[in-house]
Amino acid sequence: MTTAPPFERRDFLLLLASGLAAGAAWAAPAEPIVGLPCEGCDAVFAGMPATFASSARIAPAGQPGEALQVQGQVLDAQGRPAAGIVIYAYHTDASGHYPSAAALRGSSAEPHGRLRSWVRSDAQGRYRFDSIRPGGYPGRIDPQHIHLHVIEPGRCTYYIDDIHFSDDARLAPYRARHTAALRGGSGLAEPRRDRSGTWQVTRDIRLGLNIPGYASCALSP
């Protein structure tokens, strides 16, 4: 396996040391973290199930909020469907808060709250999350968003650009202050309602696109 750049390895070891020092319920990453700096990137491993499918729920059925379905396709650098890629997602509830979960207390994933889940892309690179439309942070300009991370099994993990909603009134003032990095491709989605009233959005993912340090991941077995 190719050695990670010194900066990334140093930060990874610091994350590991801080987690152990705090006595947190923390699962050591199986894949190195690239795309640093990244606060909370190790949280993708906390509570991760042993197996998962290409579709999953983030917010449980009955969670207050407008129904939402996120779907997309994972593509490699050549634009080919990428199977077996893990996508981790988490977001706020409809009021803009990350609801706490007792099971996450003391772990690196505690700030992510209980509205979180994982999927694995299918043979065509497709994935899907069912959830609710999140709220923007109260008292701030941050618009509605869904955080996404990618785990390339046996290689590396990194975060990609959040999903944002083109019809969100907070988006324009937020974008005026923050330039999208287009990590993993654009996260800007155009929501539409289907016949059932569920919001539908698409977020395709390009592996490694605009991810700093990705070369070390791409060369790993």
Q: Convert the pLDDT of each residue in 79-103 to its tens digit.
A: 999 999 999 999 999 999 999 999 9
Q: C-alpha angle with apex 130: 126 to 133, nearest 5 degrees? A: 120
Question: How far is the C-alpha of 108 from the C-alpha of 24, rounded, in Å?
Answer: 7
Cβ atoms of 120 and 55 within 8 Å: the answer is: no
Range of the domain at 38: 6-218
- Residue matched to tokens 């993708």: 44
pTM, to two decimals: 0.85
Q: How many domains does the chain have?
A: 1
Which amino acid is it at 167?
D
Q: Is the residue at 186 inside a domain?
A: yes
39 domain-assigned = yes
Query: Does the pLDDT at position 5 exceed 70?
Result: no
Answer whether residue 1 is part of any domain.
Answer: no
Does the residue 55 lie in any domain?
yes
| 18-24 contact pairs (CB < 8 A, 24+) | 19/108, 22/106, 23/106, 24/106, 24/107, 24/108
Element (H, E) at 6: helix 6-21
Note the pLDDT tens digit of each residue in 129-173: 999 999 999 999 999 999 999 999 999 999 999 999 999 999 999
Given this model, what pLDDT does residue 16 score? 37
Burial 161-175 (b: 16+ CB within 10 A, else e): bbbbbeebebbeebe
Question: In this structure, what are the phi and psi dihedrals at residue 19, rounded to the nearest 5 degrees?
Answer: -65, -40
107 belongs to a structural domain:
yes
What pLDDT was estimated at residue 21? 33
CATH for 47: 2.60.130.10
Mean pLDDT in residue range 91-120: 95
CB 54 within 8 A of CB 129: no
pLDDT band at 28 (very low <50, low <70, confident <90, very high): low
Looking at residue 39, what is its pLDDT? 84
DSSP code, position 5: P
Q: pLDDT at residue 59 above 60?
A: yes
pLDDT of residue 7 exceeding 90: no
pLDDT of residue 221: 54
Give φ, ψ of 174 to 5 degrees. Answer: -70, -45
Model confidence at 69, pLDDT cuts 50, 70, 90, reads very high
